[in-house]
């Protein structure tokens, strides 16, 4: 009888990936990157360990939002004080802090615990085409940009 092998922390190998977000749909990009950050693309995936890889996203300012989300979607934050709710529409947020938009979308698809925060720590998002991670020799990660049946765009 063969036993199931459970991967140990010392056996985890991490790769570096770079994603060019130019022209990609935000939600589809986030779902596929979260998949890689969690490590679900590996045969050694273990739910209680951080087996994922590092991901560098460039050109976050050129990501797309489908439909009318750019004008209707709102980013909320609260200072913690009474009357401290602030809101910003995504068209202004994309102009001011495009990396935050991509980070928020990806972090929302990761677990909401210390394991998810560790996975989010392996994410690096940059608005432009340059990034300071050349020494890690990241491989290009090609993502599917299909809109599926009835997407229409």
Quickly list DSSP for 61-120.
GG-B--TTHHHH-EEEEE-SSTT-EEEEEHHHHHHH-HHHHHHHHHHTTS-SSHHHHHHH
What are the average pLDDT values for consecutive 10-residue runs of the chain, which has 153 residues?
88 95 95 96 92 97 95 96 97 96 97 96 97 96 68 47
34 belongs to a structural domain = yes
pLDDT on residue 145: 65
Q: What pTM does this model have?
A: 0.89
6 belongs to a structural domain = no
Sign, Cα dihedral of 56, 59, 61, 66: negative
pLDDT on residue 148: 53
149 belongs to a structural domain = no
Backbone angles phi, psi at 139, to 5 degrees: -90, 145
Identify the CATH number of the domain in which residue 102 sits.
Answer: 3.90.1180.10
> Which range marks the domain in which residue 38 is found?
14-140
pLDDT on residue 2: 86
Per the listing, tokens 């990501």 go with: 63
Please, are residues 150 and 29 in contact by the beta-carbon 8 Å criterion? no
Please tell me the total count of domains within the chain: 1
């Amino acid at each position: 009888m063969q036993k199931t092998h459970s991967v140990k922390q010392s056996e985890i190998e991490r790769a570096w990936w770079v994603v060019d977000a130019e022209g990609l749909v935000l939600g589809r990009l986030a779902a596929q990157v979260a998949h890689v950050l969690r490590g679900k693309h590996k045969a050694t995936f273990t739910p209680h360990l951080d087996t994922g890889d590092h991901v560098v996203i460039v050109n976050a300012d050129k990501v797309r939002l489908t439909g009318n989300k750019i004008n209707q979607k709102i980013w909320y934050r609260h200072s913690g004080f009474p009357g401290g709710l602030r809101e910003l529409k995504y068209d202004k947020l994309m102009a001011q802090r495009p990396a935050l938009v991509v980070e928020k979308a990806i972090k929302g698809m990761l677990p909401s615990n210390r394991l998810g925060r560790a996975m989010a720590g392996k994410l690096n998002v940059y608005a432009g085409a340059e990034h300071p991670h050349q020494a890690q020799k990241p491989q290009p990660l090609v993502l599917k940009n299909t809109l599926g049946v009835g997407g229409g765009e």
